[in-house]
Chains A and B, each alone.
Chain A
């Protein structure tokens, strides 16, 4: 379970302080799928970063499985991310020099875990990339790159999957296919999915929809 209490985030800019999030409360149950909606600049990506332990709030706290990650140091948060969290990004975030297998195995490599190549290949096959195992991102289309990113997100069998605008750089048809795969794998692995999007159609596939506007919850 993820629980956020009174979460605020303020950043310093040249023109003064900007409050991106204001006293956000949120509870996400295990196995739940949740969509966070909002216009550009509403604070949804910032909230995702805070919930996943990528950033620290100015005020408030985030608890994952009853552990306050706000009080953790970077080493501890990194360990938590390695063990329990998977990510899918809008811009795919693949290492250009690595091929599909190497990009998928990256979280295992970084955690110093033994790599079960068969497991990696079966994941890539599941996302229809069995014929692209040795291809580097430059040799793959946008949709294929995002499918590698999805395989990478699930390779550690995470409890929580954070997806930031996963179809933002894809056309509608490809986006649809990518999301099908994402939901399929999520269901298979029974992960908790936190999806940030401004696509209502996509959000509707989640069990719950929350809307942010200028850093506050609003009614959907």
Chain B
């Protein structure tokens, strides 16, 4: 075995010197480098985004409950080393010097916040310092709005229930704000030890208990799974996945894009390895026949080549891993301004995945070549045309596709995306041969009018249709994948930018009284403030469906739906709200007052099993309102504008107490207009969400940069395919050109011939890539990104142009290499 290993190593070294294994080595190294760096980057960006989301939430998980949870739950947490801390949230009137205001009170203890920091200032005019603790016992922190509304200052005495506490800070930013985006009353934070003094918490009090949970990811997921069957009506679990749905959707797509990028670089490098392995196999046929003739058994041959492939896997894999980590470090350095503080090191997992990729890549793509080699008959040393195929090309291609699919699935963990890409690749394979055949048939008819090199180039393509189809396939597939990534990337980035457009509304005004609506609109217009419609809002609880209590008339899963646990905001409108889209039924044009019509948000309707024509009854105050579902509509929840689950026609809710709501946009420089607004409309509550939006934007910016960087890897992988495809036919082209030169053609003629041939190949490959790109993009948008698909004309123009240019340029180098050797040397070598 040692001798065999030594021989395999010697063979590898010699093969390396002669360039036999360089392309395959390069392809594997690029594959591993891209998988490792994407893996490491993905892990760090994910971890960074996860950290930010947790800070956003203030914990890994929040368990909300209207009552205290059983002590058993806290015991479980303690037993499993999970931090489990309680905050109390309740609405209470707070008083300063006889001035009253309803506040959203949060009572915290010393370890709050578990994650993230609180920004507290001592002055309304200054940005505060970050603090990692809440207020001390006997003191409170207030939001600026509350301070203004109560005309309080630092040091003012504030009465909450029966307790009198001191204002010690102005609360500017707190974690977990994401879960209170639409809390109407301004925030006040106090220490939990002061709660008994307030006498507010009584058995009948409406208190929300928020249990903040932090631990390792595994423990959190175990705890969540343990909790899930135990939570009852009114209780809910908020995780980074359920908070801020707009952000979550953007991050989900980023996740998918990262997975797509790593899959695509694997797919491209797989193709490169596969093409290079084919050439490697062909170049070793004669050696193998000789080995066999000199006494090497088929088993020995498999051992030798397998050992050589293992060496390539380990060396190229090792180099790829080092490159991958190096590149990743470079990118982190580039992104440092966008990343929060210290990132955890990427660990060894990406290296492990990189190494497995190398082994899998070579096992899947090159071992089939090795097994073909074992069956080369020894008599080939005497008769070169003697060759036996143990596996047909179809079998090898199927094996390669299965290996590729398996590898992509394993790396991305996304079966649907893998299937889509594999099917698109399959279409490209099937089309490659047909396209080459059709193109060369058409060109053959035109060839009489062309120059001699062009004519000969077409004949070359006709004669070598199989090899041409392979090249068209490899180059076409590489182009297709690169164009798909470019297309998905640019569309995703545009979509993310649209998630929070530059002038997205960053403030909400709530509690607007009916008599203030017109004045508020005037105020907005006079001060040039961009704003939404001022929408009416009535709170109602869904109690019946088709005359039956709602809990008896929805599925078991539906019973736990959040919309049935609380009152919903109902609004009315004559027109379909901005950003909404009817997906079933019709909007009302001139509704009659005889029948109350309802427009219901589509996702909620699906989850609760509602149908058009269903009668729903809402309890508003003490009164019942019954309406018929007229339509379902989708809502853009991430629009940062007022959105509603239920919309009714105007006048249907006239008899109910109503408050209005609007969103508006203020730049940082115009922030002082807020004071004017508060002065003009003292009862209106303003919610500032600009800080939260800045956080969301920073996360999206980070993801966008990562995505742009990943495109470079796809480019490198595409280059390795091109190189492998060019190398694959180098011998054939060298021989043909040597024969042509031997019978009198000059170097320029040969160079023109090669360039013409490659130009044709490039155009056909580019056209093929355009077909594949549209197909892959259509499937990805439809099934994975759930985004509308449109035709991309540029793909059909750019594809053939880029294909021809890239292949022609690489052909330039190739043609120089081919003519640089004397025809005699090439012909002697081919004997």
Q: Which A residues contact B (CB, under 8 angstroms)?
A: 45-46, 48-49, 54-55, 74-75, 78-83, 85, 87, 89, 91, 93, 95-98, 102, 106-107, 109-115, 152, 156, 164
Q: Is B10 an interface residue (CB 8 A)?
A: yes
In whole angstroms, how far apart are the Cα atoms of A45 and B10 in the complex?
A: 32
Interface centre among B293, B300, B381 (most CB of A within 10 A): B293
Q: Which of A111, A113, A164 has most B Cβ within 10 Å? A: A111
Residue of A nearest to B384 (CB): A91
Contacts of B381 in A (CB 8 A): 54, 87, 89, 93
Q: Give chain B interface residues in 398-453, CB to chain A under 8 Å.
A: none
* Among listed B14-22, B161-169, B502-510, interface-contacting one: B14-22
Known: A81-B294, A110-B294, A110-B295. A95 touches B14 (CB 8 A): yes
- B245-304 interface (Cβ within 8 A of A): 286-287, 290-300, 304
- CB A93 to nearest CB in B, in angstroms, measures 5
- Residues of chain B in range 2-59 having any CB-CB distance to chain A below 8 Å: 3-4, 6-7, 10, 14-15, 17-18, 20
Contact of A81 among B6, B286, B295 (CB under 8 A): B295
Contact status B382-A102, CB under 8 Å: no
Q: Is the CB of A97 within 8 A of B17?
A: yes
Q: Are B3 and A109 in contact (CB under 8 A)?
A: yes
CA distance A87 to B295 in the complex (A): 10
Q: Provide the residues of chain B in CB contact with A79, threshold 8 Å.
A: 295, 297
Contact among A55, A95, A111 with B287 in the assembled complex (CB-CB below 8 Å): A95
Indicate if B712 sits at the interface (CB-CB under 8 A): no
Query: Assuming A91-B831, A97-B14, A97-B18, is B379 touching A75 (CB within 8 A)?
Result: no
Closest to B294 in A: A107
**Least distance between A77 CB and chain B CB atoms (Å):** 8
Q: How many Cβ-Cβ contacts under 8 Å join chain A to chain B?
A: 92
Taking CB atoms, residues of chain A closer than 8 Å to B290 are: 93, 95, 106
B377 touches A (CB below 8 Å): yes
A87-B381, A89-B381, A102-B10 known; A112-B3 Cβ under 8 A:
yes
Q: Which residues of chain A are within 8 angstroms of B297 by Cβ–Cβ distance? A: 74-75, 78-79
A78, B292: Cβ atoms closer than 8 Å: yes
Of the candidates A48, A82, A96, A110, the one whose C-beta lies within 8 Å of that of B382 is A48
Q: How many residues of B contact A (CB 8 A)?
A: 32
B295 touches A54 (CB 8 A): no
Listed A/B pairs (10) with beta-carbon separation below 8 Å: A75-B298, A78-B292, A85-B295, A97-B14, A97-B20, A98-B14, A102-B14, A109-B3, A110-B300, A111-B295
Contact at B298–A78, with CB atoms within 8 Å?
Answer: yes
Residue of A whose beta carbon sits closest to that of B380: A54
Is there an interface contact between B295 and A83, defined as CB atoms closer than 8 Å?
yes
A74 touches B298 (CB 8 A): yes
Residues from chain B with a CB closer than 8 A to the CB of A49 are 379, 382-383
State in angstroms the CA–CA spacing of A54 and B379 once bound together: 5
In the complex the two chains form, is B379's CB within 8 Å of A78's CB? no
Q: What residues on B are CB-neighbors of A114 within 8 Å?
A: 3
| Cα of A114 to Cα of B15 in the assembled complex, Å | 22
Q: How far is the CA of A81 from the CA of B379 in the complex (A)?
A: 12
A93–B6 alpha-carbon span in the complex (Å) = 22
Interface centre among A54, A74, A82, A110 (most CB of B within 10 A): A110
Given A93-B290, A95-B14, A102-B14, A82:B379 Cβ within 8 A: no
In the complex, residue of chain A having the shortest beta-carbon distance to the beta carbon of B1: A112
Closest to B374 in A: A74
7 closest cross-chain pairs (CB), A and B: A82-B295, A97-B14, A78-B297, A55-B379, A110-B296, A109-B7, A97-B18
Q: How far is the CB of B287 from chain A (nearest CB, A)?
A: 6
A112 vs B17: C-alpha distance in the bound complex, in angstroms? 24
A106 CB contacts on chain B under 8 angstroms:
290-291, 294
In Å, the complex CA distance between A96 and B287 comes to 10
Is B800 interfacial (CB 8 A cutoff)? no
Distance of A110 from chain B, by nearest CB (Å): 4
The reply to whether A78 and B382 contact each other, CB–CB distance below 8 Å, is no
Q: Given contacts A45-B383, A48-B382, A54-B381, are A96 and B294 in contact (CB under 8 A)? A: no
* Bound CA span A89–B381, Å: 8
B134 proximal to A (CB < 8 A) = no
CA A82 to CA B378, docked complex, whole Å: 12
For residue B292, give the distance in angstroms from its CB to the closest CB of chain A: 6
Knowing A97-B17, A113-B3, A164-B382, the reply to whether A81 touches B293 (Cβ < 8 A) is yes
Task: Verify B3–A89 contact, CB threshold 8 A.
Answer: no
Most buried by B among A46, A49, A78, A91: A78
Q: Are B296 and A78 in contact (CB under 8 A)?
A: yes
Chain A residues positioned under 8 Å from B383 (CB to CB): 45-46, 49
* Residue numbers in A under 8 Å from B14 (CB-CB): 95, 97-98, 102
The chain A residue with its CB closest to the CB of B377 is A55
- Give per-residue flags for B502-546: 1 if the beta carbon is below 8 A from chain A beta carbons, else 0: 000000000000000000000000000000000000000000000
Chain A residues, Cβ within 8 Å of B304? 110
Query: Measured between alpha carbons, how far is A82 from B300 in the docked complex, in Å?
Result: 12
- Closest chain-B Cβ to A166's Cβ sits at a distance in Å of 13
Determine the distance from Cα of A82 to Cα of B3 in the docked complex, in whole angstroms. 15
Q: Which residue of B lies closest to A82 (CB)?
A: B295
Q: Which residue from chain A places its CB closest to the CB of B19 in the assembled complex?
A: A97
